[in-house]
Structure 1
């Protein structure tokens, strides 16, 4: 994170005694990144945070992937993964299905109606975009409230759970890193403050506002952690006391929400390249969002993207609102993912190039992940593939 917060009861000086009104000593926990060399927070627990009474394997949902071979652009229809009955019995943690992944990032999707178990990802940060629905996210740092259009950023090893609200499915597009996820470095000063050219700032980030204290004994927590190579594995811990026992914390590392409507788009006289839409970054990938905006105002401009080759990266885009003009005629709509792999030139669908001339505004909403290692197809990606997108520019199918 980029700025300091203080919540609840903390002592005047760190690493010193902190006691309750009854004289009981609280237990200080440092949660920090990069081996004491980067952002951290200090949390004060009622109970010993490392105490566990059981540890057993947790069988993760299918994490296997296969190469995108033969190399093709693909259209994945995520809304077809969950029917109207199935989502009500799913939760955001155990119900998510792997769509795409590589050694740096995994992208999953879920439509959920059940409260999730307590969970923490010990591999990397999570960035969850809510396509629709509302949720309370309970965390060891406190409570977050989130709804459609919110990114929820959860630092590595943050114990939390998702509680959907209302009668509609909570549709969550989950980006799980093998690293930390931060605002784009070029938006920040050398001291971590958002700069004037940034499309959002500290006022747009919303963290917990009060401690969340819960009671309970023999409480289960699901932990996703490193296995052999890049493959994640799971463990089910049992804690003697509820882990939500933090009376106060302070520091620069904590979960927060950011709503896509608070992203101020950068526009120009001619078409702007994707980096102007960047919102976050992780190791070997970036996250961008395309929001409603005025478009190019040069008298000879062509507002839709020019055709381009992804020389160094795979481009995955999740369409989550509005009308994406460059993809008209392809079958892509709300809840779709397009995958344009490195080594394949892509751009607007036939007719869109000419059709866009004179357009003054795009009413589109999409979240894009560009990766610098090839994305492979997870089980949900294989299940959701429409099988026809690769041929839409030519207007006819394969020769075989």
Structure 2
């Protein structure tokens, strides 16, 4: 267990409360440890901490239009790689026709976030209807395939070698954010039983198994999704973003960690959903400037009006490596203590990773090259 020496001090001109009642003419910057859970200091500056003139080097903030020129792929193993480290891998996948084979991830749990489209997911455990806004957690080793009704675009987040779990919600209790009762599991229903008699190509069902990043193929003379029942507490689960009821404070801008949806080994997945703006006159109403020096931060924009970013649209992804200050764009900063709207209108998926992420080769083809300059005010 890490032990820090607690010694809160105030030096010079500062606010008594983080993210509220900033001294006139100052900009607040949080320097924190352990992704908003550890010790932190709030600095008060005369100039916006992101008021840089330019950026050089690999730590620059980056943005990618993941759905631009995205080709359809036969299965998730052919999806476009995005970011990865030893503990997680992100891919973006477009599936417009029914998969004619099954897949099985032997490397870790798979989190499928459906960005666009709808369809039927069949797996060992049964049938799940999926649509835009659905998270589907597929435990390691689950066999599955997707049959789209409308072309599906999905963000795939692999928890390499680990298991997705729900976060500890502490003093707000286990039913806050979303009640676990809203998690749906696959059903052994008529749709699932009917697909068991479907013949595979040439009468053979093939399963593409990924292990250690390499693929093997297992062939069956029958559909191996032939279960007639199951019992236990290990199964895929589905959660739609509409069922997430975010934590809110009228007087304090909560950190991103308050919106954690799933946790895995050395990374977390958070979800931003519509919520009322803070009503306290002195409270910040936009994300605060911060140094997250222990985590890389990734944000995938799903739908809505992304109030803290300019020129960002649905299907884009931003990547902020740890080690530099970031925060709202200038237009959003101008609304830091006032908002013309009553609530946010955005859905986004955030990934915070404890270990550095690597950008997949070739992703520069869909990069917004000038993103690092978008904070410039002159």
Q: Which residue of 2 aligns with 1:109?
A: 92
Q: Which residue of 1 aligns with 2:206?
A: 220
Inter-CA distance 380–317: structure 2 relative to 1 (3 Å threshold): farther
- Asked if 1:209 is matched to 2:190, the reply is no
Name the residue aligned to 1:351: 331
| CA shift for structure 1 position 356 | 4.0
Superposed counterparts of 1:134-213, under 5 Å: 134-166=118-150, 169-187=151-169, 195-196=173-174, 198-210=176-188, 212-213=192-193
Aligned counterparts of 1:70 and 1:188: Cα–Cα separation in 2: 37
1:281 Cα deviation after fit: 0.9
Q: 1:125 aligns with which of 109, 116, 134?
A: 109
Return the alpha-carbon distance in structure 2 between the equivalents of residues 311 and 112 of structure 1: 37
Counterpart among 190, 198, 219 of residue 238 in structure 1: 219
Kept in 1: contact 2:167–2:261 (CA 8 A): no
Summarize deviations over 1:358-389 as a string: whole Å, max 9, x none: 22311111000000001111135332211111
RMSD: 2.1
Distance in 2 between the 1:69 and 1:121 partners? 35
The whole-number CA distance in structure 1 between the counterparts of 2:370 and 2:307 is 19
Partner of 1:13: none
Tell which deviates more after alignment, 135-144 or 110-119.
110-119
Contact 1:111 1:172 in 2 (8 A): yes
Indicate how the Cα distance of structure 1 residues 126 and 144 shifts in structure 2: closer, same or farther if over 3 A, else same.
Answer: same
Q: 2:294 aligns with which of 280, 292, 312?
A: 312
Q: How far has the Cα of 1:295 moved from its partner?
A: 2.0
Distance 1:124 1:188, change over 3 A: farther
Check whether the contact 1:144–1:256 (CA below 8 A) recurs between aligned residues. Answer: no
SS of alignment partner, residue 326 of structure 1: coil
Post-superposition offset of 1:280: 0.3
Distance between the aligned counterparts of 1:197 and 1:145, measured in 2? 24
3-state SS, counterpart of residue 364 of structure 2: helix
- Indicate the residue corresponding to 1:256 in structure 2: 237
Matched, 1:301 2:283: yes
2:301, 2:348 within 8 Å by CA — same for their partners in 1? yes
Instruction: Give deviations 1:162-218, integer Å, cap 9, x for gaps.
Output: 11113xx211011111134434331389xxxx9445211222111112163414564
Question: Following TM superposition, by how much is the alpha carbon of 1:391 offset from its aligned partner in structure 2, in angstroms?
Answer: 1.6
Task: Tell me the CA shift for residue 110 of structure 1.
Answer: 1.8
Shift of residue 395, structure 1, vs aligned partner: 5.2
Structure 1 partner of 2:313: 333
Q: Which segments of 5 or more consecutive residues in structure 1 lack a partner in the other structure?
A: 1-67, 227-231
Task: Report if aligned partners of 1:121, 1:158 keep a CA contact under 8 Å in 2.
Answer: yes
- TM superposition score normalised by structure 1: 0.73
Find 1:78's aligned residue among 48, 57, 66. 66
C-alpha deviation, 1:241, in angstroms: 3.3
1:380–1:262: structure 2 CA closer, same or farther, 3 Å change rule? Answer: farther
The residue correspondences of 1:31-50 to structure 2 (distance < 5 A) are none
SS in 1 for 2:333: helix
Whole-Å separation in 1 of the counterparts to 2:338 and 2:357:
36
Change (3 A) 1:220 1:162: same
Q: Counterparts of 1:395 and 1:299 in 2: how far apart (Å)? A: 26
Q: Would you say the 8 A contact 2:109–2:164 is kept in 1?
A: no
Q: Where in structure 2 are the equivalents of 1:355-374 lying within 5 Å?
A: 355-359=335-339, 360-374=342-356
Q: Distance in 2 between matches of 1:350 and 1:181?
A: 39
Unaligned runs of 5+ in 2: 1-55
